[in-house]
Amino acid sequence: MARQPVIITCALTGAIHTPTMSDALPYTPDDITAQAIAAAEAGASILHLHARRPHDGGVSIDPEVFNGFLPRIKQATDAVINISTGGSLTCTIDERVGPALRFSPEMCSLNMGSMNFSFHPLAKRYQSWKFDWERDYVKNSDHNIFRNTFADIENAANQLKPHGIKFEHECYDVGHLYNLRFCMDIGLFQAPIFIQFVLGILGGIGPEVDNLIFMKRTADRLFGDDYRWSVLGAGAAQMPLATTASQMGGNVRVGLEDSLYIKRGTLAESNAQQVAKIRRIIEELGAEVATPDQARDLLGLKGGDKVNF
């Protein structure tokens, strides 16, 4: 059987890391646009996008902020656009799906369970902060629960169903896979599905290869041949887990949302630099990197001509 090409997703900016931690992290519409285009040119077939407040880099789920970069990225690239429905830890699910309802992208992320989602240890590593909101936001993240109840998941699925959006089901632990199986059993999602194994977030499963294998074996048992999968390794686990996944028949996600570094002790200069690195590794190990059209075919997407931007 011919080996399928590896889909590279690039998660550009996220709702967690702050501009203080890396000047390379884009947060204005111009910077997000420029880095998205560069990441696509480097080999990313899917661009996973959050929005930030242009004046201070804070998390935004305002559709008008998304409108500042989505049309320009679409005009300049053929990449698949994947809009986050994660947004802020303090927003409701109705608020979080707002941008997807407005723009009807080909893909959206969807978290498959509630969890402690914390990055508060980072607060002790920095003495100065670029913007006033950052320190308290990071320090107090240990107070938050990232809410994704079954009711929230059903709400998001039903609101977005008319748009023909393919979900990137983000699973931070093995229980989230069982949540997804349950949601499929009650008719919320249809095969084939696309699962993102998320390893290394404080509050979720750890970033060990044994855990990746366990997640994969569990998904095989629950979903058979009716799914595609990818791996997100947080922090230092990004490149090692992406490399491993690419050799296991999976797909990969890199980007400054998940790790600010290109190698130990060295901050990445851009999202494109991370994409170029994992592309080189994948190709040198004998695999092919998927084009946007190949990704669309593998994931059964509706096509870039059916989005609303």
- Residue 215 to residues 10, 72, 197, 221: CA-CA distances in angstroms? 22, 37, 7, 10
Q: Is residue 3 part of a domain?
A: no
Question: What was the pLDDT predicted at 1?
Answer: 53
Separation CA 127–CA 142 (nearest Å): 19
Q: Is residue 1 part of a domain?
A: no
Per-residue pLDDT of 279-302, as tens digits, reads 999 999 999 999 999 999 999 999
Q: Is 163 exposed, middle or buried (0-12, 13-18, 19+ CB in 10 A)?
A: middle
Residue at token pair 């699973």? 171
- Residue 293 to residues 44, 71, 74, 297, 303: CA-CA distances in angstroms? 12, 19, 14, 6, 9
Residue 156 bridge partners (DSSP) = none
Does residue 213 or residue 86 have the better pLDDT?
213
Per-residue pLDDT of 241-260, as tens digits, reads 999 999 999 999 999 999 99
Average pLDDT, the chain: 95
Q: What CATH number is attached to the domain comprising 296? A: 3.20.20.70
Question: What was the pLDDT predicted at 109?
Answer: 97
Contacts of 297 (CB under 8 A, 6+ apart): none
- Model confidence at 2: pLDDT above 70: no
Separation CA 161–CA 158 (nearest Å): 5
Question: What was the pLDDT predicted at 215?
Answer: 98
Question: What was the pLDDT predicted at 156?
Answer: 97
Per-residue pLDDT of 156-187, as tens digits, reads 999 999 999 999 999 999 999 999 999 999 99
Separation CA 83–CA 66 (nearest Å): 9
Residue 233 bridge partners (DSSP) = 199
- Model confidence at 16: pLDDT above 90: no
Q: Is residue 155 part of a domain?
A: yes
pTM of the predicted structure, to 2 decimals: 0.95
Per-residue pLDDT of 260-275, as tens digits, reads 999 999 999 999 999 9
Alpha carbon 150 to its chain centroid, in Å, reads 20
- Model confidence at 198: pLDDT above 90: yes
Q: Is residue 2 part of a domain?
A: no
The two three-digit tokens of residue 184, written as one number: 């499929």
Q: Is residue 130 part of a domain?
A: yes
Q: Is residue 38 part of a domain?
A: yes
Contacts of 114 (CB under 8 A, 6+ apart): 145, 146, 147, 148, 149
The predicted model gives 215-224 an average pLDDT of: 98
Question: What was the pLDDT predicted at 118?
Answer: 85
Q: Is residue 214 part of a domain?
A: yes
Q: Is residue 56 part of a domain?
A: yes
Question: What was the pLDDT predicted at 188?
Answer: 96
DSSP string of 152-174, one letter each residue? HHHHHHHHHGGGTPEEEEEESSH
Percent of the chain past pLDDT 70, that is, above it, reads: 99
CB of 71 within 8 A of CB of 265? Answer: no
H helices of the chain, where?
29-42, 63-66, 70-76, 93-96, 98-103, 134-139, 150-160, 174-185, 209-223, 238-247, 271-284, 292-299
**What residue numbers bound the domain in which 40 lies?**
8-306
- Model confidence at 15: pLDDT above 80: no
Separation CA 81–CA 107 (nearest Å): 6
State the DSSP code for 90.
Answer: T
- Domains held by the chain: number: 1
Angle at the Cα of 211 (from 208 to 213), degrees rounded to 5? 115
